[in-house]
Structure 1
Amino acid sequence: MAVPRILIVGGGYVGMYTALRLQRKLRRGEALVTVADLDSYMTYQPFLPEAAAGNIEARHVVVPLRRVLNRCQILSGRITQVRLADRKAEFEPHEGPALTIAYDYVVMAPGSISRLLPVPGLADNGIGFKTIEEAIALRNHVLGRLDVAASTPDPEVRRRALTFVFVGGGYAGVEALAELEDMAADACKYFDGLSRADMRWVLVEATDRILPEVGPDMGRWTAQQLRERGIEVRMGTMLKSAEGRHIVLSDGDEFDTDTLVWTAGVKPHPLVRAGDLPVDEKGRVRVDAGMRVHGTDFAFAAGDCAAVPDLTRPGEFCPPNAQHAVRQARTLADNVLATLRGQPRRPYRHKYAGSVASLGLYKGVAQIYGRELRGFPAWFMHRTYHLTRMPTFNKKTRILMDWTLGLFFPREIVSLGAIEEPRKEFTLSARS
């Protein structure tokens, strides 16, 4: 009798945690689990702002799938289509011919991608903040702009280099801006002729509030704190154009910048539309409370790409965040096992506990079970909570060591921008 094959599409929160739980609970020879993802590691995204600010070593916020999922098959490449009709998926490895993967059960967890709007110049000049590569590039870029500003007498070049624009007032935008501004302000003392006042940081948000996850009061408090640090918080404002790195805002303001970070929302990964999966009007996979895809008894989906009903709020769906994704993965893995063994599935139910956000070293904001925290207590809560959620004891220990060393030594201020073009110096040498 053939061993059942379980295909997990995506190695993020849902994909990795589902595979990890299946790996622990499956009996030997009961099923073969395959995880397919473009990258062979899982990124713990809540720590991206701290990695960008240099508080945490970038490699410490990623978990290698091959080490953690040592009893699963790991395929590095791109799943281009998942078909329910014949239970097959199309896979393109990084190199070599494409493959067709047959499966008995499938878990859709490709996550989400940045939701771009048709703003002129955005695609050419902007950068997102969803991956560790983007976080590293942004850190190098910001420090590189300080180098540029400190090395030129041209006031226009200097002004453009020291202007940093972030679009999107949710978690990603506010935390990324706050951490990087805190890092840059700290770094300024090492650059002759530069001070915090020379920099211009702008947060652009289309709605009338930022950080809606922590409630209106905490959102207003956060905006006030950012403004007291000299950060411009433009609410009710939209980015109209970014052509030639010339920013045009809907409130009429125009200026040049070398740095445009886009964090204005996400949308389900386009892979969910590439096959015959049932999707809703927002492009999310339709699933029931047990995360089973509608019309099937072998397909499951969760996380950012799925419309998972929130049983604690009838008629609503679970928001796309790490708190739900990690918990959904546990229930999903149990339901796959239950289906495999002919047992009843259970619905996913989790009442949202609250939100925490870091605003730089020793600064934060939080709302936990209706209780509001701000300043150092919220910052400490942010670090404590996410440290406990970081996968593997190895990574927890390394992050804790990074934080401990940060108490005694200053942050590194070296821009490794050349890492993005490692052959440039070699090529120039060859031509000389």
Structure 2
Amino acid sequence: MSQERDTMMGALAGFLGGLALSTAMQLQGTAGLLGLHALDLGPSLSLIVHGVHLLSAVVLGTGFGAIFRYQPNGYASIVSSGLLYGLLWWIAGPLTLKPFVLGQGPLWSLEEAVSIFPSLIGHLLYGGITALSFHAFTTLYLWVKPESQCATVSAEKSVKRIVILGGGFGGVSAAQHLGQLLARDSNVEITLVSQSNYLLFTPMLAEVASGGLEPQHISAPIRAVSPRTHFLRAEAEAIDTATQVVQVRTAASAPLTALAYHHLILALGAIPNYFSLPGVETNSFTLKTLQDATRLRNHVISLLESADIEPDADQRRRQLTFVVAGAGFAGTEMIVELFDFIHSSLHFYPHIRAGELRLVLVHAGDRILPELSADLGAYALQKLQARGIEFLLNARIAGAMHESVLLNDGRQIPTFTLVWTAGNQPHPLVKTLPCEHNKSGAVVTESTMQVKGFTNLWAVGDCAQIPDVLSEGKFHPPTAQHALREGRFVAENVAAALRGQPIRPFRFRTLGILVVLGRRTAVAEIRGRKFSGLFAWFLWRMIYLNKLPGLEKKVRVALDWVIELFFPRDIVLAADTTAPTLTPAMKAHRGRRPSRKSFEGKTAEERVE
């Protein structure tokens, strides 16, 4: 299988990278892939040290192959992964492991890191060489031995059709890997159906809403990232598992089109869950799409424009109060980005004082970021409270109106802005399938990702409940990290099923969790190790930059970050052609003096989407 192939190729690439680097260091009179040259071993042990370096390089190369896996997307992406891998092992090796071997503490201060900075060059060089070698060796292996990954599916001449519903991380990852696995099979057709023709990198969506990144820079065309897949921009409306047909509609006025399938992969994701709370759906913003982010950004800028000239104190208070519901990853990062964006824009609005701003995060639990350990959650809470963000814990949104948010204890918060991140539910289409569902509506699958009761129906991502075979009684969380691996793994199982080979259960442990807190601060938990502050923020940027699809997107986002160091964020009201109507607040603020009356008598369609 491809996992064994990738680890084998990674070991070979690691050996080559270690040999090149260790030989170069020997010629320079050193022997230090992992900083071992600092140990006074004597010249007689140089050969032993050389062997230790090569063995370490093979182990690290094996890890590289197992983690990053082979993707036929060119060398630029894999090299950036190699550089990141070298950086992480520089942190784990000279900064952490070596001091422990010498009986010292980890070298995590800035001064100590600077003192061993030259060894970073070697680690980056090793990572780059290993990544290049890994990609080259695997490409050559697949060309010489196509039967290992590209065996003929069947001697039959009938076309085998694989349909993937959903263009998120899980769906696109499955399409990419299927295109690789079945590249030599002319009788296999892969079709991906999605309403958006791009893969959206959702971890950076909050930065788009706050003007830190351009929308196009975090979205990659599906046709470009998965060239071996037939892409169909449409909405799936019905699935008939008996006849194995999916009904899709390419436009609102277009007739339904039938897509027959032999294997169907559900990767439809999730939609907001408003829990039937009165007024919340029609009076809140969500953050799921580029249109959502643009709409929220326009709304915030519009409120600042109006508040700068608003004489009425009550109206002004509503305009400058921003409420976010839910203190998970999305809600916490959203309130932080709003805080940074609004405060950095105040110099454009001379009549708005920082003390007038109120940013409130409402959360039903007793601590924020429950996915993190308690101490990191407490650290995040302390940092954000110190900046002036208000937290209402053990509180719930009970309803929303045009000009206020109602809490479950009867309190009202006057505001025109409610951002809802407090709940998701699986795509409604999966709830119509004749199969087992969990209480939220997600389809229940086997550990192989086959929907229970079916052999040719598969599900990944937010719309699936996939059992975790490594933790009995638990399920894989609905995160992008897991969806990527699930998509890749389901592709392997579908390809195996087409060939008549055995399929395997999905095994994966979360590699780490990172949350940015603004102002070059973040918290991270990676393989049980906890980080906070500037270093965690740097990790967040490096890791997510590496995960962006394609070198072009990486460069564009990096440039956006560099520009932000020297220039303020843009406050231009961008046209949102996807929104049929303006939000109530934006409509009211088109005049010089919006008032409470401006919000009365609006229809449901005119309220915040």
Same fold judged by TM-score > 0.5? yes
Which range moves more in the overlay, 268-277 or 178-187? 268-277
For the pair 1:71 / 2:228, whether they are aligned, the reply is yes
| Larger-Rg structure | 2
Partner of 2:133: none
Give aligned pairs, total.
424
| 1:54 matches 2:214 | no
- Report the AA paired with residue 331 of structure 2: G
Please tell me the residue identity of whatever aligns with 1:156.
D
- The answer to whether 1:311 aligns with 2:477 is no
1:419 Cα deviation after fit = 5.3
Q: Does 1:347 align with 2:514?
A: no
Question: Which protein is richer in helix relative to its size?
Answer: 2
Tell me what 1:388 maps to.
546
Tell me, in whole angstroms, the C-alpha distance in 2 between the residues paired with 1:420 and 1:259. Answer: 20
- 1:135 partner letter: A
- Separation of aligned partners in 2, 1:60 and 1:180: 20
Partner of 2:174: 18
Q: Is 1:368 equivalent to 2:510 in the alignment?
A: no
Residue of 285, 308, 327 corresponding to 1:169: 327
Report 1 or 2 for greater relative contact order, CA contacts < 8 Å, sequence distance ≥ 6: 1
1:122 aligns with 2:298: no
Consecutive unaligned residues of structure 1, counting only runs of 5 or more, are 425-432
Counterpart amino acid of residue 14 in structure 1: G
Runs of 4+ with deviation above 6 angstroms: 420-424
Which residue number in structure 1 is paired with residue 343 of structure 2? 185
* 2:165 aligned with 1:9: yes
Aligned residues with identical type, % of pairs = 38
**Distance in 1 between the 2:495 and 2:580 partners?**
46
Q: Quote the offset at 1:210 in angstroms.
A: 1.0
2:442 aligned residue: 284
Task: Name the CA shift for 1:151/1:417 in 2 (closer, same or farther; >3 Å).
Answer: farther
Displacement of 1:122 after TM fit?
0.8
Shift of 1:184: 0.6
Establish whether residue 203 from structure 1 lines up as the match of residue 361 from structure 2: yes
Matched letter for residue 382 of structure 2 = Q
The alignment's TM-score, normalised by the length of structure 2, stands at 0.67
Matched residue, 2:108: none
Out of 464, 482, 494, the position equivalent to 1:336 is 494
**Structure with the larger strand share:** 1
Other-structure match for 1:87: 244
TM-fit CA distance, 1:305: 0.6
* Structure 1 residue 48, shift from structure 2 partner: 0.5
Once the two structures are TM-superposed, the CA of residue 423 in structure 1 deviates from its matched residue by 10
CA distance in 2 between counterparts of 1:260 and 1:223 reads 20
CA deviation digits over 1:334-354, x for unaligned, max 9? 111111111111221111122
Q: Deviations over 1:131-185 (max 9, x none)?
A: 1211111112112211111022221221110000011111111101101111111
8 Å contact kept, 1:188–1:196:
yes
Q: CA RMSD in A?
A: 1.8
Work out whether residues 111 and 304 of structure 1, in 8 Å CA contact, stay in contact via their aligned partners in 2: yes
Verify the 8 A CA contact 2:176 2:226 in the aligned structure 1. yes
Paired AA for residue 309 in structure 1: P
> What secondary structure, in the 3-state scheme, does the structure 2 residue paired with 1:213 have?
coil
Identify which range, 153-162 or 101-110, moves more after superposition. 153-162
Q: Is the 8 A contact 2:309 2:351 kept in 1?
A: no
What is the deviation of 1:417? Answer: 5.8
> 1:98 Cα deviation (Å)?
0.6
Q: Distance in 2 between matches of 1:305 and 1:368?
A: 26
Q: Which among 235, 245, 250 is matched to residue 408 of structure 2? A: 250
Question: How big is each residue's C-alpha offset from its partner over 1:199-226, in whole Å with a ceiling of 9 and x where there is no partner?
Answer: 1001000111110111111112211211
Conservation of the 8 A alpha-carbon contact between 2:158 and 2:187:
no
